[in-house]
Amino acid sequence: MTLLQMLFRTLIAASAATLFAGGAFACTPETEGCIEVGKWELSLGIGAGVRTNPVENSPDIPLVLIPEVNYNGERFFIQNLDFGAILWQSETQQLNLLATPSYDQVYFHRWSPSNFFINTNAFASAGKTVSDEDNIPVLDADGNKELIAPQINELQERDLRNRRTAGLGGFEYNLTTDVIDFQVQYLRDFTGIHHGDEARIALAKHWATGRHHIIGSLGAIWQNSEVVNYYYGVTPVEADARGEYSTDAALSSEARLDWNYQLTERWDLRLLARYRKLPDEIAASPLINDNKVITFFIGGVYHF
C-alpha cells in the first residue's frame, strides 16, 4: 500500500464515527441548543449514576463526573471525543466527515489505563487442594458429566486478551424537520484494531418549554462479525469449559431520554437514562451475563 493510499484510507476511515457515541445530533442551523459558530462550550456534570456492566464477574461502572466539550465552527466541529468536518449543508440537512473512538471496550476497562482483568493465576493464591466435592459438574461434547474446578472460570477471565480502543471513521448524514430529527452513520476501523464496520441509525425528538429541554431518541447499531468477535468472542487461549465462541454480525437497539432544566445562567439540572438491548449474538458469549446495559445519571451541570 502506497503512502497516498494509506492517507486516503485514513481520511475516509476517519470519517464515519460520531453517531451514538455522545448521543447527541450534530449541530445544524436549525438545531435547538447549538452553540454559536466559533465558540467553545465547556461543562462538567456532577452527580450520581451508573452504567451496568454485562461482562461476567465485572462491577458496574460509576458515573460521578461527566465533562463535555463542544466546538462548532464554520466547517469543523467537536462533540466530546467526536471530530467532524462539514462537507455539505442546507437549512435542514448536513453531511459530515467524522472520526470517533469505539465504545465497546468500556465494559473491559475502568478509569485507569490498566486492563480490567488482572493477569494473575487464581490457583497460585488458593492455598488448598480441590476435591471432587468442590468441583462443578458440566456436560462434555457427548452429553456425559465431567468435573471442572470452580476456579477455572475466574482463572480464564484473568487471562483475557486486552480489548483495545479502535478509531472509527466514516460519513454521517443528518436531517432536521419540525417533527423529528434523523441521523445515520457508516463507520469503519481505520486503526487496524479489528478491521470492522458499524452502521448506526437514530430518530430523535426535541421538546423545549420554559426552562425545560427534553430529548428522546430511538436507535439501532449494526456491527459486523469482526467487531462483535473482537470484543465478545472467545479465542482458544481464553476458553474455559464452555469452549471457544465466535458469531456473526449483530444488531443492537437502544432508547435514550435526556432532560435538562436551567437553574441559573451557569447551572442546569440533568437526568439521563439510556437502555441498550444486547442482541443474541453478544448475549450468548461466555463473557456476558446480561442481555442489556442500563445507564443512568442525575446531577447538576456547570457551564464554564
Binned average pLDDT, 10 residues per bin, the chain of 304 residues: 40 35 44 68 95 93 91 93 95 96 87 29 32 44 46 50 94 96 98 97 97 98 98 93 94 98 97 97 97 96 96
Q: What is the pLDDT of residue 142?
A: 54
Cα separation, 98 vs 285, in Å, equals: 31
Grid coordinates belonging to 280: 443474541
Among 53, 16, 2, 20, which Cα is nearest to 217's?
Answer: 20
Domains and CATH numbers, the chain: 3-111+166-303 (2.40.160)
Q: What is the pLDDT of residue 24?
A: 41
Q: What is the pLDDT of residue 49?
A: 94
Cβ contacts of residue 5 below 8 Å, gap of 6+?
none
Residue-wise DSSP of 242-262 = T--B----EEEEEEEEEEEEE
Work out whether strand 292-303 and strand 39-51 pair parallel, antiparallel, or are unpaired. antiparallel
Element (H, E) at 96: strand 93-101
Grid coordinates belonging to 146: 465431567
Grid coordinates belonging to 35: 452553540
What b/e readout covers 108-125, taking b as 16+ CB neighbours within 10 angstroms? bbeeeeeebbeeeebeee
Max CA pair span of the chain: 72
First to last CA, the chain: 46
Among 244, 246, 224, which Cα is nearest to 236's?
Answer: 244
Give the C-alpha distances (Å, rounded to integers) separating 242 from 108, 120, 137.
Answer: 20, 21, 12
Q: Cα 153 vs. chain centroid, distance in angstroms?
A: 26
Among 184, 274, 189, 172, which Cα is nearest to 231's?
Answer: 189
